[in-house]
Amino acid sequence: EAGVVQSPRYKIIEKKQPVAFWCNPISGHNTLYWYLQNLGQGPELLIRYENEEAVDDSQLPKDRFSAERLKGVDSTLKIQPAELGDSAVYLCASSLGRGGHEQFFGPGTRLTVL
Amino acid sequence: GENVEQHPSTLSVQEGDSAVIKCTYSDSASNYFPWYKQELGKGPQLIIDIRSNVGEKKDQRIAVTLNKTAKHFSLHITETQPEDSAVYFCAASIGSGYALNFGKGTSLLVTP
Protein backbone atom coordinates (compact mmCIF):
# COMPACT_ATOMS: atom_id res chain seq x y z
CA GLU A 1 0.00 0.00 0.00
CA ALA A 2 1.36 3.43 -0.92
CA GLY A 3 2.28 5.79 1.88
CA VAL A 4 1.64 9.50 2.06
CA VAL A 5 2.66 11.15 -1.19
CA GLN A 6 3.89 14.72 -1.40
CA SER A 7 4.98 16.87 -4.29
CA PRO A 8 7.12 18.56 -5.20
CA ARG A 9 9.99 17.19 -3.13
CA TYR A 10 12.01 20.36 -3.55
CA LYS A 11 11.06 23.92 -4.45
CA ILE A 12 13.22 27.01 -4.81
CA ILE A 13 11.51 30.36 -5.27
CA GLU A 14 12.26 34.02 -4.82
CA LYS A 15 10.68 35.94 -1.99
CA LYS A 16 7.25 37.40 -2.64
CA GLN A 17 6.44 34.60 -5.07
CA PRO A 18 3.56 32.17 -4.43
CA VAL A 19 4.13 28.47 -3.85
CA ALA A 20 1.88 25.44 -3.39
CA PHE A 21 2.44 21.98 -1.95
CA TRP A 22 0.31 18.94 -2.62
CA CYS A 23 -0.41 15.93 -0.43
CA ASN A 24 -2.17 12.64 -1.09
CA PRO A 25 -2.83 10.78 2.19
CA ILE A 26 -3.00 7.04 2.76
CA SER A 27 -6.22 5.63 1.36
CA GLY A 28 -8.97 5.59 3.95
CA HIS A 29 -7.28 8.05 6.31
CA ASN A 30 -9.81 10.68 7.31
CA THR A 31 -7.42 12.93 9.19
CA LEU A 32 -4.74 14.95 7.43
CA TYR A 33 -2.09 17.17 8.97
CA TRP A 34 0.32 19.76 7.65
CA TYR A 35 3.46 20.33 9.71
CA LEU A 36 6.35 22.76 9.38
CA GLN A 37 9.83 21.51 10.23
CA ASN A 38 12.66 23.98 10.61
CA LEU A 39 16.24 22.77 10.47
CA GLY A 40 17.20 20.99 13.67
CA GLN A 41 13.69 21.16 15.10
CA GLY A 42 10.74 18.86 15.50
CA PRO A 43 7.64 19.20 13.33
CA GLU A 44 5.15 21.92 14.31
CA LEU A 45 1.48 21.55 13.47
CA LEU A 46 0.07 24.08 11.01
CA ILE A 47 -3.38 22.66 10.35
CA ARG A 48 -5.41 19.49 10.87
CA TYR A 49 -8.31 18.30 8.74
CA GLU A 50 -11.06 15.86 9.63
CA ASN A 51 -12.30 14.86 6.20
CA GLU A 52 -12.76 18.20 4.42
CA GLU A 53 -13.14 20.28 7.58
CA ALA A 54 -10.24 22.21 9.07
CA VAL A 55 -10.63 21.49 12.79
CA ASP A 56 -7.38 22.97 14.10
CA ASP A 57 -5.72 25.83 12.23
CA SER A 58 -4.68 27.99 15.15
CA GLN A 59 -0.98 27.79 14.20
CA LEU A 60 -1.50 28.63 10.53
CA PRO A 61 -0.33 32.18 9.65
CA LYS A 62 -3.51 33.11 7.87
CA ASP A 63 -2.21 36.33 6.39
CA ARG A 64 -0.07 34.40 3.91
CA PHE A 65 -0.85 30.70 4.34
CA SER A 66 -3.95 28.91 3.15
CA ALA A 67 -4.93 25.28 2.84
CA GLU A 68 -7.73 23.25 1.40
CA ARG A 69 -8.81 19.64 1.31
CA LEU A 70 -11.42 19.27 -1.35
CA LYS A 71 -13.55 16.11 -1.18
CA GLY A 72 -11.73 15.07 1.97
CA VAL A 73 -8.82 13.38 0.21
CA ASP A 74 -5.95 15.36 -1.34
CA SER A 75 -4.83 18.59 0.23
CA THR A 76 -2.97 21.68 -0.93
CA LEU A 77 -1.02 24.11 1.22
CA LYS A 78 -0.28 27.52 -0.29
CA ILE A 79 1.95 30.40 0.69
CA GLN A 80 1.43 33.80 -0.91
CA PRO A 81 3.65 35.73 -0.80
CA ALA A 82 6.59 33.68 0.45
CA GLU A 83 9.11 35.23 2.82
CA LEU A 84 12.71 34.28 3.54
CA GLY A 85 11.70 32.83 6.91
CA ASP A 86 9.36 30.35 5.24
CA SER A 87 12.34 28.25 4.13
CA ALA A 88 11.74 24.88 5.80
CA VAL A 89 10.43 21.38 5.18
CA TYR A 90 6.66 21.08 4.91
CA LEU A 91 5.43 17.69 6.03
CA CYS A 92 2.08 16.11 5.42
CA ALA A 93 0.78 13.29 7.61
CA SER A 94 -2.40 11.27 7.79
CA SER A 95 -4.16 9.04 10.28
CA LEU A 96 -7.34 7.02 10.45
CA GLY A 97 -8.97 9.41 12.88
CA ARG A 98 -11.75 8.30 15.24
CA GLY A 99 -9.34 6.89 17.80
CA GLY A 100 -6.57 6.01 15.38
CA HIS A 101 -3.78 8.15 16.70
CA GLU A 102 -0.95 6.77 14.59
CA GLN A 103 0.23 9.41 12.17
CA PHE A 104 2.10 8.46 9.03
CA PHE A 105 4.29 11.08 7.42
CA GLY A 106 5.16 11.80 3.84
CA PRO A 107 8.72 12.61 2.73
CA GLY A 108 8.10 16.36 2.89
CA THR A 109 8.69 19.28 0.56
CA ARG A 110 11.86 21.24 1.14
CA LEU A 111 11.20 24.91 0.38
CA THR A 112 14.01 27.39 -0.16
CA VAL A 113 13.08 31.06 -0.44
CA LEU A 114 15.81 33.27 -1.93
CA GLY B 1 1.13 24.87 22.70
CA GLU B 2 2.31 22.75 25.57
CA ASN B 3 6.01 21.92 25.66
CA VAL B 4 7.76 18.62 25.11
CA GLU B 5 11.38 18.67 26.18
CA GLN B 6 13.79 16.07 24.87
CA HIS B 7 17.29 15.13 26.03
CA PRO B 8 20.00 14.68 24.98
CA SER B 9 20.16 16.62 21.72
CA THR B 10 23.00 14.41 20.51
CA LEU B 11 24.01 10.92 21.54
CA SER B 12 26.93 8.83 20.36
CA VAL B 13 27.23 5.15 21.28
CA GLN B 14 29.26 2.21 20.13
CA GLU B 15 27.61 -0.58 18.24
CA GLY B 16 26.07 -3.06 20.64
CA ASP B 17 25.62 -0.58 23.46
CA SER B 18 22.25 0.72 24.62
CA ALA B 19 20.85 4.19 23.95
CA VAL B 20 18.32 6.04 26.09
CA ILE B 21 16.44 9.19 25.13
CA LYS B 22 14.25 11.00 27.64
CA CYS B 23 11.30 13.36 27.24
CA THR B 24 9.10 15.34 29.57
CA TYR B 25 5.74 16.89 28.83
CA SER B 26 3.59 19.46 30.57
CA ASP B 27 0.01 18.73 29.43
CA SER B 28 -1.52 16.43 32.04
CA ALA B 29 -4.30 15.56 29.58
CA SER B 30 -1.89 14.04 27.04
CA ASN B 31 -2.67 10.37 26.55
CA TYR B 32 -0.65 9.26 23.54
CA PHE B 33 3.15 9.27 23.22
CA PRO B 34 4.76 8.19 19.95
CA TRP B 35 8.41 8.03 18.98
CA TYR B 36 9.57 8.77 15.46
CA LYS B 37 12.81 8.06 13.61
CA GLN B 38 13.82 10.46 10.86
CA GLU B 39 16.58 9.72 8.40
CA LEU B 40 18.14 12.38 6.24
CA GLY B 41 15.82 13.58 3.51
CA LYS B 42 12.89 11.51 4.72
CA GLY B 43 9.78 12.11 6.75
CA PRO B 44 9.50 10.89 10.36
CA GLN B 45 8.68 7.20 10.68
CA LEU B 46 6.73 5.88 13.65
CA ILE B 47 8.79 3.27 15.50
CA ILE B 48 6.85 2.74 18.71
CA ASP B 49 4.11 4.40 20.70
CA ILE B 50 2.52 4.10 24.12
CA ARG B 51 -0.80 5.17 25.56
CA SER B 52 -1.38 6.57 29.01
CA ASN B 53 -2.96 3.39 30.38
CA VAL B 54 0.28 1.45 29.83
CA GLY B 55 3.56 1.87 31.69
CA GLU B 56 5.88 0.03 29.34
CA LYS B 57 5.90 -1.36 25.83
CA LYS B 58 8.54 -3.36 23.99
CA ASP B 59 9.10 -4.26 20.36
CA GLN B 60 12.24 -6.30 19.75
CA ARG B 61 15.21 -4.01 20.52
CA ILE B 62 13.07 -0.96 21.22
CA ALA B 63 11.16 -0.21 24.40
CA VAL B 64 9.32 2.80 25.76
CA THR B 65 8.46 3.56 29.37
CA LEU B 66 5.94 6.10 30.63
CA ASN B 67 5.66 7.69 34.06
CA LYS B 68 2.44 9.71 34.04
CA THR B 69 2.92 11.00 37.57
CA ALA B 70 6.28 12.51 36.71
CA LYS B 71 5.17 13.34 33.14
CA HIS B 72 8.14 11.75 31.48
CA PHE B 73 8.71 8.97 29.02
CA SER B 74 11.80 7.35 27.61
CA LEU B 75 12.97 5.42 24.57
CA HIS B 76 15.39 2.55 25.06
CA ILE B 77 17.27 0.97 22.19
CA THR B 78 19.33 -2.12 23.02
CA GLU B 79 22.05 -3.76 20.97
CA THR B 80 22.38 -0.69 18.79
CA GLN B 81 23.40 -1.05 15.17
CA PRO B 82 24.85 1.51 12.72
CA GLU B 83 21.52 1.60 10.89
CA ASP B 84 19.92 2.95 14.08
CA SER B 85 21.78 6.21 13.41
CA ALA B 86 19.15 8.89 12.77
CA VAL B 87 17.27 11.69 14.49
CA TYR B 88 14.68 10.50 16.99
CA PHE B 89 11.68 12.59 18.03
CA CYS B 90 9.35 12.08 20.93
CA ALA B 91 5.87 13.55 20.86
CA ALA B 92 2.86 13.92 23.10
CA SER B 93 -0.76 14.34 22.11
CA ILE B 94 -2.27 17.75 22.66
CA GLY B 95 -4.76 16.82 25.29
CA SER B 96 -6.57 13.65 24.36
CA GLY B 97 -6.83 14.75 20.74
CA TYR B 98 -5.00 13.72 17.64
CA ALA B 99 -2.56 16.59 17.14
CA LEU B 100 0.98 16.16 18.48
CA ASN B 101 3.60 18.33 20.11
CA PHE B 102 7.10 17.19 19.19
CA GLY B 103 10.38 17.43 21.03
CA LYS B 104 13.36 18.99 19.31
CA GLY B 105 14.94 15.68 18.46
CA THR B 106 17.98 13.60 19.40
CA SER B 107 20.65 12.91 16.82
CA LEU B 108 21.84 9.36 17.50
CA LEU B 109 25.13 8.15 16.06
CA VAL B 110 26.06 4.49 16.38
CA THR B 111 29.70 3.87 15.55
CA PRO B 112 30.93 0.43 14.46
pLDDT tens figures, A13-22: 999 999 999 9
B36 Cβ under 8 Å from any chain A Cβ: yes
Q: Which residue of B has its CA nearest to A4?
A: B43
Residues 6+ away with beta carbon under 8 Å from B62: B35, B47, B48, B75, B76, B77, B78
In chain A, what residues touch B97 (CB-CB under 8 Å)? 56
- Phi, psi dihedral angles at B43 (to 5 degrees): -80, 160
Q: How large is the average pLDDT for residues B91-104? A: 87
pLDDT in tens, A53-67: 998 888 899 999 999
In chain A, what residues touch B105 (CB-CB under 8 Å)? 40-42
